[in-house]
Amino acid sequence: MTTRTTPVAARGTSPLARHRWAVEAVAAAVFALALVAYGSGASFRQDYVVLICTYSLLALGMYIPYIMSGSLSLAYNAYLGIGAYACGLISTRAGWSSLWGVPIGIVLSAAIAVVLGLATRRLTGFYLAGVTLLFAVAFQVFLLDRVSLTGGPVGMPVRRPHAFGYTFTRYDIMIGAVVLVWIVGLLLSRLRQSPFGVVVRLRKDVPQVVESSGISSGTIGVVSLAVGAAIGSVGGSLFGMMGGVAQPESFGLHIIFLAIFMPLLGGQRSPWGAVIGAVLVVVFTFELHILSDAGTLFFAIAILLVLRFAPLGLLGLGTPLLRLLTRLRMGRTPGGEGS
Amino acid sequence: MPVQLWVSVVELGCFAGLIALGFFLVLRGADVFMFALGPLAMFGAMFGAFQVSRNGWPLPIAALIGVAIAVALSGLTELLIVRPIHRRTGGQENPSIVAIVAILFALEQLAGTLFGRTPLPGTPFWSAQFRWGEAVISGQSIVLVAVTVLAFAGVALWLRRSANGRMLRAVGDNEHAARTLGVPVDRIRLIAFCLAGLLAGVAGSLFAAKAGVSFTSGLQWTLVGFLAVIVGGLGNVWAPLVGAVLVATLQTWSVFEFGHAMRDYLTFAVAFLFFAFRPKGIFQTKVRI
């Protein structure tokens, strides 16, 4: 601890000072490499890895608005769908690279999140949940109904993305997906600890403090909803480009349910909890052959158990354990506190 | 719009009104939006329809047990899930919303698993048909209207006259103050949830005869009731009914003119416009200070 610079030492043992970025980045990178190694095998494994990444981005998209700033939006199936359909439309109609769909999806879904957030800005969270749920239902109907635009129930193809004359393979997309989750996870983790992140988190528990510091808590809420929607949309684009198709059934209401479930399951103290939740959901769905219908029942009961008995999620269960370990270590090396 | 469609408007309006009255009671009494009421209505109705069509139970018994199940599930939701979470988080709303949304999905899937994923036909309590001009009115719609009027009048009287009803309003306005004054907050909240479950159960079993019931009906029912509350507001016991009739008119008309997809777009648009311009609905609570 003697090597620490003064400002850090001045912050003492606050959680801000103890965060180890290098450790987090390396640990996540090791995990990412393991995923890539797994995905280098049979072709279906690449789909599997991309699905994990899509769900991770979905859960990470929930992290800022829901876990940090405390506003629950239920329109995530629409944000994912917008990302995927934007890639499909731009590649089949305009003939451009489907990569262009990514920024278009980001802007579109963020704009929708802003409008929905502004409309319910002065109301309690129940109303935001309600209006976003109505939007989610309307979006699903829209995908099925506007056959000329969306292709109806069969959906529409998404061409393989290309840039500078190079067409990306499925393997490339998988690597891109893993790297993307790694970057977004690290960025969110940094954001959580940054002054802005602290304000966002304060808004959830004590909005009065945020307001009295001259920061509009409503604006913070709307901004976080927009960022979350944008991240979700990127996940959708990824899913569409990998599968080569955008279909309504991929963006059904079960997506909403997974979106609120995954960050809670993994743990709220870190964005990586959201990623862990996503990995668990994919593994449980595919390895244990839980059908999607009964799977929702299984996950719904699981979320009630988590909310009731482990409110901090699985990472939260680790915290008391970690504290115990630290205490034991501190007992063994006298004077080593905070090292 | 043909006369017959106005009969549909009245039916849908009464049904949505009953669900909305359930939302109203839980909102006033526990300050929670009980999104799971639609699935509760669906669950009770599916139970009744399943027992009648598959096992040949007599309708009154099957319906009665269906309603009782809705009441019990609603009460258990408060006792086992919402109340402990409410206590632990000190009244934060997000964990409660998540829990209720999880119950919504759980009930939907549970009903699908138990009673099958195909729609079940409902059985009318009174299968008579009456001609009135060009319209045909079924005995079942008369029952539905009568029950709705009775339920609203009953709840209005109960809220004004009975001790529990007055305490319910007190708890909803300020739970902390009510507790300090010695109001049995826990009991009142439980009553609110059970009454809402009762209304939902009755509404579901009466409405199932009209178009049948399937495990996905629950979410639709929740959304139509939610919209009725948004449009009507919370200022008056009858406000949810006014909102429900307006929403039913809009939905029936839009389906008649433009088809089903437009109904869902318009539903969302109306909710959005009310949120943006009149977030507390048509009838607003007036507080004198």
Contact B260 A293 (CB under 8 A): no
The answer to whether A102 touches A173, Cβ cutoff 8 Å, is no
Q: How many domains does chain B have?
A: 1
Contact A307 B98 (CB under 8 A): yes
Q: Is residue B16 part of a domain?
A: no
**Angstrom distance (rounded) from CA A12 to CA A43:** 50
pLDDT at B253 over 70: yes
pLDDT higher at B278 or B194: B194
Q: Is residue B32 part of a domain?
A: yes
Tell me the residue range of the domain where B169 lies.
Answer: 21-215
On chain B, the residues whose CB falls within 8 A of the CB of A303 are: 98-99, 102
pLDDT of residue A288: 63
Q: Is residue B123 part of a domain?
A: yes
Contact A311 B279 (CB under 8 A): no
Q: Is residue B229 part of a domain?
A: no
With a threshold of 0.95, tell me whether the complex ipTM lies above it: no
pLDDT of residue A338: 40
Average pLDDT over residues A319-330: 70
- Pairing of β B129-132 and β A245-246: unpaired
| CA B117 distance to own-chain centroid | 22
**Angstrom distance (rounded) from CA A167 to CA A179:** 18
Contact B267 A297 (CB under 8 A): no
**Angstrom distance (rounded) from CA B46 to CA B120:** 7
Most A CBs within 10 A among B86, B268, B277, hence the mutation to make, goes to B268
Q: Is residue B256 part of a domain?
A: no
**Angstrom distance (rounded) from CA B39 to CA B106:** 9
Q: What is the pLDDT of residues B202-214, one digit of tens each?
A: 999 999 888 788 8
Average pLDDT over residues B232-254: 90
Packing angle of the helix pair A292-309, B93-115 (nearest 10 deg): 150
On chain B, the residues whose CB falls within 8 A of the CB of A221 are: none
CA distance A164 to chain B (A): 41
pLDDT at A15 over 60: no
Packing angle of the helix pair B185-211, B3-30 (nearest 10 deg): 160
The answer to whether B47 touches B66, Cβ cutoff 8 Å, is yes
Q: Is residue B56 part of a domain?
A: yes
